[in-house]
Structure 1
Amino acid sequence: MKQEFDALYGSDEHDINNWHKLCHILRIDPVPNTLKECRLAVFRKHVNLVDLVEGSREDIQIFKSEKKLSEYTRRTEKFFPKEDAADGGVLRALRRHILAPRDGHSKGRISRSVKDGR
C-alpha cells in the first residue's frame, strides 16, 4: 500500500510538488508556498490513509479530529498497514494514533519533525 501511496503522492519529503498534491487532495486552500507551511497544513488534516490510496479522490473524508478519524477507521476496519507507514517521507505527516487517539481537534500536538521541516 505504501508503494501505491508513493506513486500517487510522492515519497520525497523535500519536493514541494509532493506536498502540493496532498494539499490539493486535502482541500487546503490556499496551498502554502513553503515546505514547512505545507507540512503544517497537511499535519492538521485527519484522513484515512486507505481511503486516500484506494478511494475516489473527490470524496475523501476529512475528519475534524484524530478521535473522529479513529472511530471511522475502527468502524470501517480500514487500517493502513503499520509497517508500511513506519518510515518517513511525505506519509509521516498523515500518520495518526488510531488505537489510542488524542482528544481535541486538528490543532493537536505537532511533532517536532513536522515543525522543523524534517
Structure 2
Amino acid sequence: MSTFWDAFSPDFTRNSQLPFSSEFNRLATQRGWVVGSNRYRKEWSRCCGEEFTRQYGQDAHRLSGWQGLCADVGIKDIPSSITQCKKVLNTTWVNIVDLVECRESGRLPAKQYRSQNALREYTQRTGKIFPKKAAKRNKFLAALLIVIF
C-alpha cells in the first residue's frame, strides 16, 4: 500500500524513528513549502489524514476500533458500545497529532488535558493542529475535535 511519504521518494526518505510532524516539517523545508501556504496546508492535511488512518483505520462501525482509541487516550473503564465510546471520547481532551505520534512510538496513553481550553492553548502554542478537513474524513476523529480558533 502506498503512503503519503512514497510520493516523495527517492528524493525524501522518512525516518520512522522520528515523529511524523517533524518529518513533515523536514519534507516541507526540502520542498520549499511555506508554512501557511495553500500547498503546505494541503500536504499537511493529506499527511495527517493518512497517518491517522494508518494507525487507526477508518471503519467506524467496528467496536474494537473505538475501544482501541479509548485505551490510547487513557480511558480506564473501556465502554462496551460504540455509543458509549463516543460519549466518553467527547469529554476527553487530547491533541490528535500527539495521539498519532504516541501510538506510532508505542508511548501510550496520549496526554490528556484538563479542559478544552487547556488543550486549545497547548495546540495553539505548539502549532500541532490536525486539519479539520482531514479529521472529517475519518469518523473516529469526530469525537475528538474541538474548536481551536
* TM-score, normalised with respect to structure 2: 0.61
Residue of structure 2 aligned with 1:85, choices 125, 135, 140: 135
Q: Which has the higher helix share?
A: 2
Consecutive unaligned residues in structure 2, runs of 5 or more:
1-47
Is 1:4 matched up with 2:51? yes
Among 105, 115, 118, the alignment partner of 1:68 is: 118
> For residue 68 of structure 1, what is the amino acid of its counterpart?
A
Q: Distance in 1 between matches of 2:56 and 2:67?
A: 9
Deviations 1:13-40 (A, max 9, x none): 1110110111111111211111111111
Number of matched pairs = 99
AA in 1 matched with 2:60: E
Overall identity of the aligned pairs, in %: 37
How many angstroms does 1:59 deviate by? 5.6
Residues 29-48 of structure 1 aligned to structure 2 (within 5 Å) = 29-48=76-95
Cα RMSD (Å): 1.5
The one-letter code matched in structure 1 to 2:72 is I
Residue 10 of structure 1: how far off its partner (Å): 2.2
Q: SS of the counterpart of 2:89?
A: helix
CA shift at 1:91, angstroms? 1.0
Question: TM-score, structure 1 length as denominator?
Answer: 0.76
Q: Offset of 1:89 from its aligned partner?
A: 1.0
Does the Cα contact within 8 Å between 1:66 and 1:98 map onto a contact in 2?
no
Mapped partners of 2:71, 2:55: distance in 1: 12
Alpha carbons 2:72, 2:109 under 8 Å: kept: no
Unaligned runs of 5+ in 1: 100-118
What is the Cα deviation at residue 58 of structure 1?
2.2
